[in-house]
Amino acid sequence: MTILYQIPGDISAGPLGSGELLRRLGLLRGWAAAGTTVEIADTPGGPFSIESAAEEAMCVAPTLDALARRTSQPDAVIVGCFGDPGLAALRETLDCPVIGPFEASMHLGAQLGNRVGVVTVVDGVIPVLDRLARAMGETLNYAGAVAVNVNVLDLRAHSATLADTIIDAGRALVRERRADVLVLGCMSMAFLGMAEAIGDRCGVPILNPARVALKTAEAMAALGVRQSRRTYPRPAKPLRLGVKEHV
């Protein structure tokens, strides 16, 4: 089975560069089950990083465009951003299951404890996640999010202290918001190995959303299921992909 990890941002064109793509692919392959082929792609024209509702919205059209240009179709697609941008749009347009890391982590985390909290990058992402949790119907299982207030592109520069900062935030979620399970709320945190570094130092399980999304993708592909066409019908007319609006 082939799983495509589609990053909706334009990592290759940004400060991290295409080497970061290969680094992440290596990690994903290490996490994959026997028999799973992982591919990775980023999205030309997408944001360099995604940490606002505006960037979440802006990355969808180029992602749909990038996916439409592929010649081979994977067995499942993971949206490589924790805010699950474009999840419904991709489900409408693709014939394979599409996995959102936040959605997948909430649903797996809710099987580990009553309330799932999120440690994310910046305060600005929190209201986006709060409304997503509502839209998912997960208000009772969602303990809320707290931010470490380090921008995505600065995470590496803070890597020496990042785990401790996340632990402080996670413990606050446990103590003040009664979280029973934690999720790292940013894929860049996930690929820096933070969940593994933290282990049980918050006293509760801490989920790596990249790995949860990968396992969910493998599960869906193995089950041979995909999204309901009642919730995610195919668009009735062709999408205007790749339109150059300002010539």
Residues 162-221 that bind a copy of itself (CB under 8 A): 174, 178, 180-181, 203-205, 207-208, 211-212, 215-216, 218-220
Q: Which residue among 2, 93, 159, 165 contacts a copy of itself (CB under 8 A)?
A: 93
Q: How far is the CB of 238 from a copy of itself (least distance, A)?
A: 10
- DSSP 3-state helix, strand, coil percentages of the chain (rounded to 5)? 45, 15, 40
Q: Which of 5, 212, 225 is nearest to 97 (CA)?
A: 225
CB 190 within 8 A of CB 184: yes
Question: What is the end-to-end Cα distance of the chain in Å, rounded?
Answer: 41
Residues numbered 120-159 forming contacts with a copy of itself, rule: CB under 8 A:
122-124, 127-128, 130-132, 134-141, 144, 151
72: which 2 tokens? Answer: 């081979």
Q: How far is the CB of 72 from a copy of itself (least distance, A)?
A: 19
Asked if residue 52 binds a copy of itself (CB under 8 A), the reply is: yes
Residues 6+ apart with CB under 8 A from 236: none
Asked if residue 233 binds a copy of itself (CB under 8 A), the reply is: yes
225: which 2 tokens? Answer: 């299921």
Q: Which residue among 3, 4, 28, 47 contacts a copy of itself (CB under 8 A)?
A: 47
β-pair partners for 156: none
CB closer to a copy of itself, 74 vs 86: 86
Asked if residue 65 binds a copy of itself (CB under 8 A), the reply is: yes
Asked if residue 225 binds a copy of itself (CB under 8 A), the reply is: yes
